[in-house]
A and B are shown apart, each in its own frame.
Chain A
Amino acid sequence: LPVPEMFVKDIDEGTERDIFDINEALGLDLFEGDIRLLMQGKNS
């Protein structure tokens, strides 16, 4: 049962969001979900 909004504020809004969920929701299409490649192909 969710706790009524008037008593508490839920920072996760009822769902467990992992790193890739957060990035996906922002429309980011990072390499493997959360890796930024600095120069083309340098990391890979």
Chain B
Amino acid sequence: IIGDEYRWPHIIPYVLEDSLDLNAKGVILNAFERYRLKTCIDFKPWSGEANYVSVFKGSGCWSSVGNMHVGKQELSIGENCDRIATVQHEFLHALGFWHEQSRSDRDDYVTIVWDRILSGREHNFNIYNDSVSDSLNVPYDYSSVMHYSKTAFQNGTEPTIVTRISDFEDVIGQRMDFSDYDLMKLNRLYNCSSSLSFMDACDFELENICGMIQSSGDTADWQWLSQVLAGPENDHSNMGQCKESGFFMYFNTSSVKEGVTAMLESRILYPKRGFQCLEFYLYNSGSENDQVNIYTRVYTASNPEGVLTLQREIKEIPIGSWQLYYVTLQVTEKFRVAFEGVRGPGSSLGGLSIDDINLSETRCPHHIWRIQNFTQLLGSQNAEIRSPPYYSPKGYAYQIYLNLNSSTNVGIYFHLISGANDDQLQWPCPWQQATMTLLDQNPDIRQRMSNQRSITTDPTMTNDDGSYFWDRPSKVGSVAIFPNGTQFSRGRGYGTSAFITHKRLISREFIKGDDVYILLTVEDISHLNSTAIIPDPVPTSTAIVPTSAAHNACSEVECQNGGVCTVHEDRAECKCPAGEDWWYMGKRCEKRGSTQDTIVIAVASTVTVFAVMLVITLVSVYCTRRKYRKRASSKRAALSLENQHAF
């Protein structure tokens, strides 16, 4: 939308209203993380700013377009809207974006079939001319998260939007993540040149190897190559699709003795948030005992040469394929990341290779489920795949079930299973949010359009027979057997049959080297039940901690007129809503103020002061005149007596 008045500040104040489902709150915070990674837009809990976004559970999913300067600007994430791309879509509206197909040049790219549109819904296919809406010199985007799908407002089964290039017919309407052009437009509109959480991405395509350096303290070097006889045959970035390109870094362990090391260090990096996620692919064509160690070199005033700290030892690297790894870091000072290849015992005919490094100040997924030979699975009938068992940080055991049976959609479900800690855990399982991500394996984290869904365990949810859905699997689950023959109990699954369509699954880089990765995170989000404003993630590992004290303090305080309770120095305080010319005040936001009141007070004060001054002046004049009159009359009396006496 054209007009600077519609822009928000780069840090948008927000409130997550209590009406929101807990799963929705978690999803919204995850959506904010995508903005922080890929744009210069950040979000902060509202602390009294004139205008803020109030996210609540209304009827449906909707938003206004742009900053309306109304103080509290509502954005609804209602039932079934708690999907990350839906939240991204609604916030793009709030940031000033219309739908992609309402562009002035829309008819050059798609045909709207008017007689297939539901009667009375034709207005949903409006076009804005270029004096109202600016496409910011970005081409029409079929893959925009702001585009409708072909079935929008149809009155039958035939598409209402037909793309002029037929290959895009099933592309429009994606709800995975920002497209490249979405980001280009957003970053142009808000003059973005950097983001809060992105640090570096390197696919080693250029000879400068992204400014990485070979350490001088080691005995061997990493080589910049595009192919190794013993493997890999090609890099991970392009998978051999581009001739004369596709490079990676290689440490030849076959040419060195046991114990020899080669260290490759990144350029200097400057952290902002204090927690990082390092992601990269490794290929091993050497010995099974070769390993890679990840170090950080942190520079401080007392250690200008940098302190080298071992962060992770990676052993048993699979032979003969690229494998994805994540390493969590917590660095608060300027630093480098170092990859150390170590020649282990045993014979080696090849070596270790690294490619597609990404470093960001985000949280790493807790688990990676790698599914190999995926194309074969996708084409086979009765394809049901179950992940290995995993444990959440709280100790709950779980398993993921991927259903490939449908010819159009892929389903994904989360199951609680019996585990070693079940006797110590709370049942029914309360408020654990499972986030399942199908990874788009684009080499650059900023260009990925990963498909993500989250579900949350509600301890009050019941089955048809009255039993608790998330109760202990050994109580409510059914018996199942792992491939190794171990028997266990599996609870009922919760998820979606429409996780992703087959057509989208084979697009992008979801399947790469015939591998698919499902990233899994299960975290306790019960703290989001609190009405306290959620703090930004901080350097400590416990990112979101409104604490039970916050909950207790606020449970005794009721803020009026839409005020929000927050805890400051262990005391509950009400943050009162305010607009441009009005505000609420008082301990409980019980009093209303406005600029009109101020004007009245100022005028009244002025008039009062004027009146008092006038009274004082009049009294002073009266008293002075009276005094001089008295003096004058006594002088006259004395003068007449003198004269009498003289005569």
Cβ contact of B62, chosen from A1, A15, A23, A43, cutoff 8 A? A23
Contacts of B86 in A (CB 8 A): 19
Closest to A42 in B: B68
Q: Do B494 and A36 have beta carbons less than 8 Å apart? A: no
A19 to B62, CA, bound (A): 8
Q: Do A8 and B493 have beta carbons less than 8 Å apart? A: yes
Cβ contact of A20, chosen from B74, B80, B148, cutoff 8 A? B148
Contacts of B80 in A (CB 8 A): 11-12, 17, 22
Interface centre among A15, A31, A32, A38 (most CB of B within 10 A): A32
- From residue A25, how far is it (CB to closest CB) to chain B in Å? 9
Closest to B99 in A: A32
- From residue A3, how far is it (CB to closest CB) to chain B in Å? 6
Contacts of A14 in B (CB 8 A): 497-498
Q: Do B492 and A22 have beta carbons less than 8 Å apart? A: no
A10 to B403, CA, bound (A): 12
A34 to B76, CA, bound (A): 10
Q: Which chain B residues in 609-627 approach chain A with CB under 8 Å?
A: none
Interface centre among B79, B90, B498 (most CB of A within 10 A): B498
Q: A3-B403, A3-B411, A14-B498 are in contact. Are A26 and B59 (CB under 8 A)?
A: yes
Cβ contact of B494, chosen from A2, A8, A15, A20, cutoff 8 A? A8
Q: Which chain B residues in 133-153 approach chain A with CB under 8 Å?
A: 148-149, 151-153
Cβ contact of B64, chosen from A1, A20, A37, cutoff 8 A? A37
B78: CB under 8 A from chain A?
A: yes
Contacts of A2 in B (CB 8 A): 406, 497
B501: CB under 8 A from chain A?
A: yes
Contacts of B73 in A (CB 8 A): 38
Cβ contact of A31, chosen from B123, B173, B496, B501, cutoff 8 A? B123
A9 to B455, CA, bound (A): 11
Q: Do B123 and A34 have beta carbons less than 8 Å apart? A: no
Q: A18-B148, A18-B173, A22-B80 are in contact. Are A34 and B495 (CB under 8 A)?
A: no
Closest to A18 in B: B149
B124: CB under 8 A from chain A?
A: yes
- From residue A16, how far is it (CB to closest CB) to chain B in Å? 4
Interface string of B493-507 (1 = CB under 8 A from A): 111111001000000
Cβ contact of A8, chosen from B65, B93, B99, B495, cutoff 8 A? B495
B489: CB under 8 A from chain A?
A: no
Cβ contact of A34, chosen from B93, B405, B469, cutoff 8 A? B93
Closest to A22 in B: B80
B392: CB under 8 A from chain A?
A: no
Q: Do B497 and A36 have beta carbons less than 8 Å apart? A: no
- From residue A29, how far is it (CB to closest CB) to chain B in Å? 8
Interface string of B59-101 (1 = CB under 8 A from A): 1111111101010011010111100001001100100001100
Cβ contact of A33, chosen from B148, B151, B175, B493, cutoff 8 A? B148
Q: Which chain B residues in 103-143 approach chain A with CB under 8 Å?
A: 118, 120-121, 123-124, 126, 132
B254: CB under 8 A from chain A?
A: no
A10 to B63, CA, bound (A): 27
B401: CB under 8 A from chain A?
A: yes
Q: Do A43 and B153 have beta carbons less than 8 Å apart? A: no
Q: Do B493 and A12 have beta carbons less than 8 Å apart? A: no
Contacts of B124 in A (CB 8 A): 20, 31-33
B102: CB under 8 A from chain A?
A: yes
Cβ contact of B493, chosen from A9, A22, A23, A30, cutoff 8 A? A9
Q: Do B126 and A32 have beta carbons less than 8 Å apart? A: yes
Contacts of B60 in A (CB 8 A): 22-23, 26, 28, 30, 34
A2 to B68, CA, bound (A): 45
B245: CB under 8 A from chain A?
A: no
B1: CB under 8 A from chain A?
A: yes
Contacts of A1 in B (CB 8 A): 405-406
B447: CB under 8 A from chain A?
A: no
Contacts of B405 in A (CB 8 A): 1, 3
Interface centre among A18, A19, A28 (most CB of B within 10 A): A19
Contacts of A44 in B (CB 8 A): 132
A16 to B174, CA, bound (A): 11
Q: Which chain B residues in 278-295 approach chain A with CB under 8 Å?
A: none
B409: CB under 8 A from chain A?
A: yes
Closest to B498 in A: A16
Q: Do A12 and B93 have beta carbons less than 8 Å apart? A: no
Q: Do B61 and A3 have beta carbons less than 8 Å apart? A: no
Q: Which chain B residues in 308-365 approach chain A with CB under 8 Å?
A: none
Cβ contact of B78, chosen from A7, A17, A22, A31, cutoff 8 A? A22
Q: Do A10 and B495 have beta carbons less than 8 Å apart? A: yes
Closest to B90 in A: A34
Q: Do A8 and B62 have beta carbons less than 8 Å apart? A: no
A4 to B497, CA, bound (A): 11
A35 to B93, CA, bound (A): 8
Contacts of B132 in A (CB 8 A): 44
- From residue B51, how far is it (CB to closest CB) to chain A in Å? 12
B584: CB under 8 A from chain A?
A: no
Closest to A13 in B: B497
A28 to B98, CA, bound (A): 18
A interface residues (Cβ-Cβ under 8 A, vs B): 1-3, 6-12, 14-20, 22-24, 26, 28-39, 42-44
User: Other CB < 8 Å A-B pairs besides A9-B493, A28-B60, A36-B74, 14 of them?
Assistant: A1-B406, A2-B497, A3-B411, A11-B80, A11-B496, A18-B152, A19-B90, A22-B78, A22-B80, A32-B124, A34-B61, A34-B90, A38-B73, A43-B64
Q: List 16 A-B contacts (CB under 8 A).
A: A3-B493, A3-B497, A9-B469, A10-B411, A10-B497, A11-B494, A11-B495, A16-B498, A17-B498, A20-B124, A22-B60, A26-B60, A32-B98, A33-B148, A34-B61, A35-B65
B interface residues (Cβ-Cβ under 8 A, vs A): 1, 59-66, 68, 70, 73-74, 76, 78-81, 86, 89-90, 93, 98-99, 102, 118, 120-121, 123-124, 126, 132, 148-149, 151-153, 173, 175, 401, 403, 405-406, 409, 411, 413, 455, 469, 478, 492-498, 501
Interface pairs A-B: 3 shortest CB-CB: A8-B493, A16-B498, A23-B60
